[in-house]
Amino acid sequence: MPQSAENIKDHISLFSEPEYKELLAQKKANYECRPSDEKVNEQLEYSKSWEYREKNFARKQAVINPHKACQPLGAVFAAAGFEETLPYVHGSQGCAAYFRSHLARHFKEASACVSDSMTEDAAVFGGLNNLVEGLLNAKHLYKPKMIAVSTTCMAEVIGDDLSAFIATAKEKEAVPTDFPVPFAHTPSFVGSHVVGYDNMIKGIFNYFWDREKGEVKPGKSNGKINIIPGFDGYAVANNRELKRYLDTMGVDYTLVGDVSEVFDTPTDGTFRMYDGGTKLDDVRDAINAKATIGLQHYCSDKTLEYVASKGQATASLNYPMGVSGTDAMLMKISELSGKAIPEAIEKERGRLVDAIADSQGWTHGKKAAVFGDPDFVLSMASFLLELGIEPTHCLCTNAGKEWEAQMKALLAASPFGADCQVWAGKDLWHLRSLLFTEPTDMIIGSSYGKYLEKDTGIPLIRLTFPVFDRHHHHRFPTMGYQGALRTLVEILDRIFEVADASSDISYDLTR
């Protein structure tokens, strides 16, 4: 055998050994019943053609590799950002395992989440008993200060009423009557994780402002600005960068749903099931803020509508990345808080502009395909235009007509956007056809783009959730001027790597 107890091989080298190559070849020949290699290659080549692209884009029902997750994932992520809060999934155990593993694989950090394990009997008779017993067990085992409940497909299909179920659980003393149990209905078969995030943030506000002690009227202003970061795989670093800006400006604020600690706990001998997060008393007091800003419009639409119904000023942005995106965020914060933008931050902006100018000879005229969530693609495309890069294909599976119109307006405002295309509601198999028929110099998205990279040979730059196959990207910001500088370096490194690999004629020491 190619390995022994004294010589343990990694799977990469192990499966390259002759024994395994022969084993896999026999499996392929005897059990897969596949067409010949020639026929397979013929079809692969056809799938790269314009004719196939037209057929691909004509499909109406089938979805192949959509770049989105389901609502409860966003709800679990949102709930994790509050003080000693336990995300609770009313549904099947397998769903909760998926949400936990998805977050753990990205953040390389344990993700706390429980489920009441609905099975066949609950699917027929309803999940009331599961929820009552689940809340009782979760409260006693994990001792949270709050349990935030979301739903999966099973609970939604049969119509479980979370408000009534939670009230019944409190009547049966599964949890004390004054114990916070906010909830959000998050059916997996509509919307996406960004909608689930929005629903949970709204549900938590709604609990403290309308349900805990009846409807609460706004009182005297506390002078604070509420900031809702949105669903963000780089929240660990981005939230810290955001707090640095706010502290430097002297702004009094509440960061609503702050996961920067719970998804980046230290290894120091102490296990932290909960760490950091927005204080529950700050959420109660958030109704008295001067204003609420959503940093990602498509992650906070319903929440901001609810906040506005309480008479509070609101504003929404689209993932503050790049020069103009960060400018818009800082100017809005300055406007609403009355605090000036200090010289130290203005100098950061100048350094970013200087870096862009230093490298414009390498970025100018390059073409990129961008995929991801609505706010990310908008902001990324805006930053690419600032760099002189053409965002040739902008694709977002979980977007609609509003986003499409916003994207087209952005591209129309720049000469670098003249030949760019917007693809709302399309999936990564659509993007594959686009890259073969109208190739770009780079792909910008998540780890799911690695299959496109391998198929097309176009280099992938990982800049959005999820990043499973690389480590610690989330520990460095993408928002703000410093985040834009880091993003610029990521893009330039891939450009230079391609230049170095393409020819010995230009294998230069200096770029």
Catalytic residue, chosen from 153, 216, 323, 353, is 153
Beta strands in 352-427 (DSSP E): 367-371, 390-396, 421-424
Helix (H) / strand (E) containing 227: strand 225-228
How many whole angstroms separate alpha carbon 87 and alpha carbon 262? 12
- Among the listed residues 106, 112, 105, 107, the one whose alpha carbon sits nearest the alpha carbon of residue 80: 112
How many C-beta atoms lie closer than 10 Å to residue 160's C-beta?
21
Report yes or no: 75 and 302 within 8 Å, Cβ to Cβ. no
CA max distance for the chain: 78
**CB half-sphere exposure, 506, CA atoms < 13 A:** 9
- Annotated catalytic, 153? yes
Q: Which residue has tokens 């050994």?
A: 17
Token pair in block for residue 31: 């059990």
Those residues with Cβ within 8 angstroms of residue 32's Cβ, 6 or more apart along the chain or in another chain: none
Q: Which of 40, 157, 190, 498 is catalytic?
A: 157
Phi, psi of 213 (to 5 degrees): -135, 35
Is residue 157 part of the annotated active site? The answer reads: yes
**Separation between Cα atoms, residue 28 and residue 12, nearest integer Å:** 19
Contact 216, 183 (CB under 8 A): no
Task: Give the three-class secondary structure for 197.
Answer: helix
Alpha helices in 126-173 (DSSP H): 128-142, 153-158, 162-171
* Among candidate residues 67, 303, 82, the one with its CA nearest the CA of residue 197: 303
Query: Catalytic residue numbers?
Result: 153, 157
